Amino acid sequence: MALTRYGELRNELMRRSFPSIFAPVVLRDADSNYVPIPISERLVQCIWYDQRLNSVSLQTTDGRTVRVVFQGWWNLEAGPDFRHATLQIGDEPERTGDVEIHLRAEDWDHHGHEHDRQFNDVILHVVLWEAGSLHTPRTRAGQIIPQLAIQHQLDCPLEQLYDELDIDSYPHNVGNHHGQCAHVLQALHPQSLAALLDTAGEERFGAKVRRFLRWIHRVGPEQAFYEGWMEALGYKANKAAFRALAQRVPVSEINDHRLHLGPILFGVANLLPTGAPATRDAAAAGHVKRLWNAWWKLRPDLEDRILPSDAWRFHGVRPANHPHRRLGAAITLLKKHPRLMEKVVGAVESGGDPATFFSEIRDDYWSYHFTLGGKTQSRASELIGFGRAQEIVVNIVLPFVAAHAQNNGDAKLYEAAKAGYSRLPAAPSNSIVRLAASQLFESAPLTRRSVKTTRQQQGLMQIFHDFCVNDKSGCRHCQFPDLVRRWAAAT
Ligand code: SF4
């Protein structure tokens, strides 16, 4: 009784909240009279991922044949459902691009994809239901996207697929999606595999050091470091905006602006609300008011530096990564550590942990708010979590210090930065590491045995970017298995 009740409630809530992606239906051709199964977009994603389709006769809604060379990587971030698929449609040459999945053709428009630049590279729209599939999806530029309705092109009845596919396990816990290099890597001696990942990790580190060498050459070490960590606070969606802000309010001016850092950075960022915030939260309203009271006096001198309002992306950004909160963290960091660059260089030199400079910051307002004018949270939360601070160390601090040392001919500091990098234990996994691991390794235990340090994680990402990202053949023409064989012969 309780379970039935739960199911009914879940279905009702899901239908109400996500009518376009959750549509429980009754399959009337099932052996039993009525077998209701919840048909969700996720089920269709699993079907596409496993290619449970009649591959020899696949056709778009306008009658062109579809040949799937590679179905793409399951995308767990914002944007299309599958990235980097390789397909041949009709007589056209093979193309590599994204695939978007929906239950119905019109969901493309309902979800606003025709206005979203993230969907510019979609080369196929896959929908379950044939009804309404003559509706034509278009990209932002008005380009028509080929559409595949799979309802009658499945390799077995939908009900059977529903029972066979354990949709909760996708995409990482289904073991049939590894690449062609997996068996070669499996055969490699563990030490040899570890050394291969280490050297690929060194390569990735070297590329980051070279980037900082160029950066330092352009703007000097202080500004390069400041732009680097600001960019990292923008995470994925707002990297460019944070970097632009760091260029418009350069580090050389930070000390002069110390008393007004909040109003200046929020004002130049164009992130101050234009009207009074719609909040009853006194702390939030007071904070915004104080920023405005200072900003309107400073604004005339900084008018020409203000970022355009569309510089920022808010959609799909988690509250903890909201640009307001990230900028609040940046301001807190600048106030607490006026000589941040010197401090992190000193920490690396002495074998200390530079992550703590980023993770150990608190602020009366930002520790309790996600946005300007937002509700006060009952509990304080970290402004920069330890995982993100570690990422900043790996991607910014250590490569910067190595580049700075190289620039100054300081071999000891350079070795200290490299040693710091090799010492770091594996960081919490992210979607790219998981994706790379599922492509390259046949099993989760092999991943755990083989990827024990940050350097090895970075090595895995380097291989993924070098080979998987550039491969357009669904592994067929990839050179990495050959590289592994040569590595095995040489080690
Ligand atoms: S593309 Fe290459 S490196 Fe990537 S999974 Fe396939 S064989 Fe392996």
CA 193, distance to chain mean position in Å, is 27
Ligand 1 within 6 A of CB of 179: yes
Please tell me the distance from the alpha carbon of residue 460 to that of residue 15, in angstroms, as a whole number: 40
Ligand 1 within 6 A of CB of 437: no
Ligand 1 within 6 A of CB of 439: yes
Can the peptide bond before residue 273 be classed as cis, meaning omega within 30 degrees of 0?
Answer: no
What confidence tens digit (pLDDT) does each residue in 176-214 have?
778 889 999 989 999 999 999 999 999 999 999 999 999
Please tell me the distance from the alpha carbon of residue 252 to that of residue 226, in angstroms, as a whole number: 10
CA of 255 to the centre of ligand 1 (A): 49
Res. 101 pLDDT band, cuts 50 70 90: very high
Res. 36 pLDDT band, cuts 50 70 90: low
**Which residues, other chains included, contact 225 with Cβ-Cβ below 8 Å and sequence gap of 6+?**
251, 340, 341, 344, 396, 400, 404
Res. 94 pLDDT band, cuts 50 70 90: very high
Q: Measuring from atom 5 of ligand 1, which residue has the nearest CA?
A: 179
What confidence tens digit (pLDDT) does each residue in 121-140 have?
999 999 999 888 778 899 99
For the segment 7-12, the average pLDDT, to the nearest whole number, is 62
Evaluate the CA torsion angle 241, 315, 308, 263 in order and state its sign.
Answer: negative
CA of 483 to the centre of ligand 1 (A): 11
Model confidence, pTM: 0.78
pLDDT of residue 433: 84
Please tell me the distance from the alpha carbon of residue 470 to that of residue 478, in angstroms, as a whole number: 9
CA of 453 to the centre of ligand 1 (A): 22
CA of 138 to the centre of ligand 1 (A): 31
CA of 170 to the centre of ligand 1 (A): 20
Q: Which of 433, 467, 476 to mutate to test the pocket of ligand 1 (most atoms within 8 A of CB)?
A: 467
- The closest of 102, 90, 48, 91 to 70, measured between CA atoms, is 48
CA of 449 to the centre of ligand 1 (A): 20
Distance from first CA to last CA of the chain, Å, rounded?
62
Question: What average pLDDT does the chain have?
Answer: 88
Ligand 1 within 6 A of CB of 468: yes
Helix (H) or strand (E) holding 43: helix 41-49
284-293, 333-342, 416-425 — which is least confidently predicted?
284-293
With pLDDT > 70 as the criterion, what percentage of the chain qualifies?
A: 91
Ligand 1 within 6 A of CB of 478: yes
Ligand 1 within 6 A of CB of 396: no
> In the beta sheet, which residues pair with residue 68?
87
Which own/partner contact pairs does 273-277 have at CB distance under 8 Å and 24+ positions apart? 273/372, 273/373, 277/372, 277/373
Q: Which of 70, 471, 477, 479 to mutate to test the pocket of ligand 1 (most atoms within 8 A of CB)?
A: 471
Ligand 1 within 6 A of CB of 481: yes
pLDDT of residue 95: 93
Q: Which atom of ligand 1 is least distant from the CA of 182?
A: 8
What confidence tens digit (pLDDT) does each residue in 430-478 have?
778 888 888 888 777 778 888 999 999 999 999 998 888 888 788 888 8
Ligand 1 within 6 A of CB of 440: yes
Q: Measuring from atom 1 of ligand 1, which residue has the nearest CA?
A: 468
Torsion of CA 58, 64, 69, 73, to 10 degrees: -80
Q: Which atom of ligand 1 is least distant from the CA of 475?
A: 6
Q: Which atom of ligand 1 is least distant from the CA of 180?
A: 7
Amino acid identity for residue 171 in this structure: P
Q: Measuring from atom 4 of ligand 1, which residue has the nearest CA?
A: 468
What confidence tens digit (pLDDT) does each residue in 372-419 have?
988 889 999 999 998 899 999 999 999 999 999 999 999 999 999 999
Given a cut of 60, whether residue 7 has pLDDT beyond it is: no
Given a cut of 60, whether residue 35 has pLDDT beyond it is: no
Ligand 1 within 6 A of CB of 471: yes
Angle at 192 between CA 414 and CA 470, to 5 degrees: 75
CA of 139 to the centre of ligand 1 (A): 30
Angle at 276 between CA 272 and CA 281, to 5 degrees: 100
Res. 28 pLDDT band, cuts 50 70 90: very low
What confidence tens digit (pLDDT) does each residue in 248-291 have?
999 999 988 888 999 999 999 999 987 666 667 888 888 989 99
Most confident of 72-81, 157-166, 352-361, 426-435: 352-361
3-state helix, strand and coil shares in percent for the chain, rounded to the nearest 5: 55, 10, 35
